[in-house]
Amino acid sequence: MSLLTENSDSDYSSHCVSCAATICPEAPWMARYRVLYRTRSGIQLSGVNKTKFDWVVEEAFGDPNKLESWYFMHIEKPHKAFLVHESCWSLLVQQFEGEDIDLNRLFEVCKEIPPPGRRDYWNNCGDLGLRHHFRPAKRPIIKGLQDAARQFPKMPKRRKHSGSKSRVVHDSDCFSILPLEIRVQIATYLRTADFLRLRQSSRAMAVVFGIESFWKSRFSQNGDRGFLNCLAENPRKRESKNWRLIYRCTARIDRCDEHLWATRRRWRNNRWLIERCSMIRTSDEHIVSNQGLLNELCWKEVSTEFRCDRDSRPENRHGGKENECRICWAEHKLFSQVVLLESSINGLAVSIQREGAETYITGFDLLNADPERPNVLLGYRLPGGSVTLNFYGEQLIGFTVIEGQGGIHAIRPIFNENTIPTSWIGIPEGFGICKPTELVLERNIKAISGKFDVSHSYPGKMCSIR
């Protein structure tokens, strides 16, 4: 099976934007593909095509002229088309969970996919040179379940009254007054790591740990184990499952389990595309900004180094323009934004992008207490990936900022009275992270400024805050 390798330096390798496998007739699913392409009226999606040739082999050793017309549109620079296997597109549609796919946004995201093998896009999955026999329609098999089940600790049975309100109400535990069904529903909206932290501080939520419906929710399309969603959505007849056991046994997937490993990789790649589609701004979106304040106010600032993750283009290294990047030899589009913190702002919703063990702050929603006035967005909003901070009537006077490679990893708000206990928003540790920097004013913050990029492998990462 032809797959791209980590050492592939081609700027036009004919690979699928979802799974990174090539377009070729070696397997039926690899031969069927769609094309996301640019037209005068906007971005369009082609119907299903079927190739008779291995595109990579033909462009390297054969005769590219006998390839389909889509090939020639695909290799043009700037990009006019991207390829995706039909089966990969179907999975991507499922992972959007019924949302309309904005093809214009998706096209912009595809332009920023790092070259094959770069850790940013492939989520530290390692070398892509593996020649596995991957069949997308094949049902994954979880190995070692029987052996693990014999050693798996049994959960104590719940008492009959546990489905209603708790008999003992703890004043400090607000969850104890809720019925168990509501507590389970709350837990399903949390990432597993967040729930495990919550159960350590709430005895009422600790009960949820032993409930199978909670663990089954981890296998939803975009849950922690979403790549195994077929086990939950299409169960076999008379098949009962220990979802907590399956969750535990799939915490680490070895490369020797080729099919499961490839299934997870494609699912992760699709998550990469979906999250960035939610952050990319289109040209017709209005950006609220008070640029005049940059010269009117005194600013405290922290900046991070911009990092380009595009593929290098050595053919353009000579005679480049002054504003072109010296890695990809193209221009990066940056936009700066300044927003006022008016007196009616009573909170922030901080959007966080997770990349493996690291986090990046992508923007703020300034929450307005006046229901007739809209919230103001600084930077990029990441749906489902935000932490809300309530000011509780206090004045926000600054932040402690953790900066690092390519963006701001974490922030901690600072208030004038210091009565609100605050913790880090984001993870303040990781590769290439610098020491904390304090941006603190004597009085409340009047405005926040940020510079954002739309051409980074992490679109919308904050590059400066003032």
| Residue 327: predicted pLDDT | 61
| Residue 159: predicted pLDDT | 57
pLDDT digits (tens, 9 = 90+) for 250-286: 888 877 777 888 888 889 889 889 888 887 655 455 6
Does residue 5 contact residue 116 with C-beta atoms inside 8 Å? yes
What are the residue ranges of helices labelled H in 32-172?
Answer: 55-61, 69-74, 86-95, 103-111, 119-122, 145-151
Collect the ranges in the chain with pLDDT lower than 70. Answer: 1-13, 114-133, 153-171, 236-240, 280-287, 305-333, 418-421, 430-433, 453-466
| Residue 120: predicted pLDDT | 42
CA geometry: angle at 29 spanning 25 and 35, to 5°?
85
Whether the bond between 436 and the residue before it is cis, its omega within 30 degrees of 0, is no
Residue type at position 190: L
Distance in angstroms (rounded) separating the CA atoms of residues 168 and 178: 12
Does residue 287 contact residue 449 with C-beta atoms inside 8 Å? no
| Residue 310: predicted pLDDT | 60
Decide: pTM greater than 0.95: no
| Residue 3: predicted pLDDT | 31
pLDDT digits (tens, 9 = 90+) for 10-62: 444 578 899 888 888 888 899 999 999 999 999 999 999 998 888 878 877 88
Q: Which of 330, 304, 305 minimizes the C-alpha distance to 315?
A: 330
| Residue 183: predicted pLDDT | 93
Distance in angstroms (rounded) separating the CA atoms of residues 57 and 33: 17
Q: Name, in order, each residue with C-beta under 8 angstroms of 295's C-beta and a sequence gap of 6 or more.
A: none
pLDDT digits (tens, 9 = 90+) for 406-417: 788 899 988 887
| Residue 117: predicted pLDDT | 40
Does residue 170 contact residue 202 with C-beta atoms inside 8 Å? no
Distance in angstroms (rounded) separating the CA atoms of residues 178 and 188: 15
Distance in angstroms (rounded) separating the CA atoms of residues 382 and 353: 7
**Domains along the sequence of the chain with CATH:** 28-129 (no CATH), 145-249 (no CATH), 293-465 (2.100.10.30)
